[in-house]
Structure 1
């Protein structure tokens, strides 16, 4: 299986750091406010481990299963876990994806940030159904949805610029429609010294799009309810079993 992050793993962690400044406290709040108080947390598509650290800080002593299919990203993730004694005790890192990895019984929370677009509609619905079966009472699935919400062209834009030592790192993103409910992202990365390009990489990957209303209808069929949390610009959503939501409202 090809790994779309094989060439971009070198750049991703430093380029998402700024986005996590807003995302981290919103994720922590969503996890802390869940009704479930015991059980493990599953982090799907854990990437370089920024979310793992947030989970561990927000839910002290909860074991974490960090699932990451990309070997290149797992290398960064394992380094982050290994350098922190507390994370080493609580975090298990495994290869795999949403479908192939076994979850512990009675999962307290599932985190799937920047993941849902990687899933074709049938795999997305399978994830909702699995969460409905395996979440503990009061457990949550936290994910995010970001534009575009329909197949459309996205003009090339600089998404990140980071200076480290004498070098600068830039990331550029663009997208084109590639299916009825799909786009293809093109990500360009550059390393520069005083404006001169020293290295460059480009990667493409498929991304399935859906509106929030469409996702709400999908999760309802699985017996889950969707609600938005945090700053609307983050696109952060929480799923709970309908019965748990009804109980809270009552």
Structure 2
């Protein structure tokens, strides 16, 4: 598996952190009362893993993260957070290759669904049908845009740590009717001087709410809005 985050892993966790105060509360509400175990798909550095663990106390969490760089942050966060070390298992494979329990209480896929191509996405939906226990659910979010249109460059994050300021810029261009290519630039400033710049690109498969509802409905699954761009599947 190609690690799309090999060069950007050091920046992602700190630049994504400011977005979790908005994502966390609706995710926690959507998970209220679910049985375990809970799978955190593409757990990254573990911001969502921590939200999941707090939302469902005592439940086992399986945090799936194939990127070695992001997984190192995840493991450190789990190790250093009281109560998580005993409950969270970190799995290094992709979701469809991971050794998961036969029955699952919930599956969480935050900021990750675009990494699944249509065939892989179909396998994910099938996994929900096969493994979710009665009363179980999945929670996913869809990030804009949901159609193949160019996205002008915008600042996605800006964080200062000590003397250094870390800045993330993003733009996208169509790569076919169902796919975008995201171009990311990560800049490091010290004392207001640019001292480093990293550029990476990665593919992102598009999924609209309408298409998701159709794909899931064909499998007997229902979709309910849980917040801006966030959905509960049951």
SS in 2 for 1:13: helix
Give how far 1:98 is off: 2.1
Q: Distance in 2 between matches of 1:94 and 1:53?
A: 16
Give how far 1:103 is off: 1.9
Q: Deviations over 1:69-91 (max 9, x none)?
A: 10111000000011123110000
Matched, 1:129 2:126: yes
Match of 1:246 in 2: none
Q: Distance in 1 between matches of 2:81 and 2:18?
A: 21
Matched, 1:22 2:16: no
Superposition TM-score, scaled by structure 1 size: 0.91
Q: Distance in 1 between matches of 2:224 and 2:135?
A: 14
Match of 2:12 in 1: 12
Q: Deviations over 1:85-120 (max 9, x none)?
A: 311000000111121012213211100111110111
Matches within 5 A, 1:30-179: 30-32=30-32, 36=34, 38-179=35-176
How well do the aligned residues superpose, as a CA RMSD in angstroms?
1.0
SS in 1 for 2:83: helix
Matched, 1:238 2:204: no
Q: Distance in 2 between matches of 1:102 and 1:138?
A: 22
8 Å Cα contact 1:39/1:136 also seen in 2: no
Q: Distance in 2 between matches of 1:146 and 1:3?
A: 21
5+ residue gaps, structure 1, are 241-250
SS in 2 for 1:25: helix
Q: Deviations over 1:137-159 (max 9, x none)?
A: 01111110011111110001111
8 Å Cα contact 1:144/1:236 also seen in 2: yes
SS in 2 for 1:17: helix
SS in 2 for 1:85: coil
Q: Distance in 2 between matches of 1:178 and 1:214?
A: 19
Superposition TM-score, scaled by structure 2 size: 0.97
5+ residue gaps, structure 2, are none
Match of 1:245 in 2: none
Q: Deviations over 1:26-77 (max 9, x none)?
A: 1100000x5x4x3200111010000111111110110011110101110000
Matched, 1:193 2:190: yes
Q: Which stretch of the first structure deviates more once superposed, 130-139 or 102-111?
A: 102-111
Q: Distance in 2 between matches of 1:223 and 1:122?
A: 18
Structure 1 stretches of 4+ with a deviation exceeding 6 A read: none
Matched, 1:204 2:201: yes
Number of aligned positions between the proteins: 234
Q: Distance in 1 between matches of 2:97 and 2:219?
A: 20
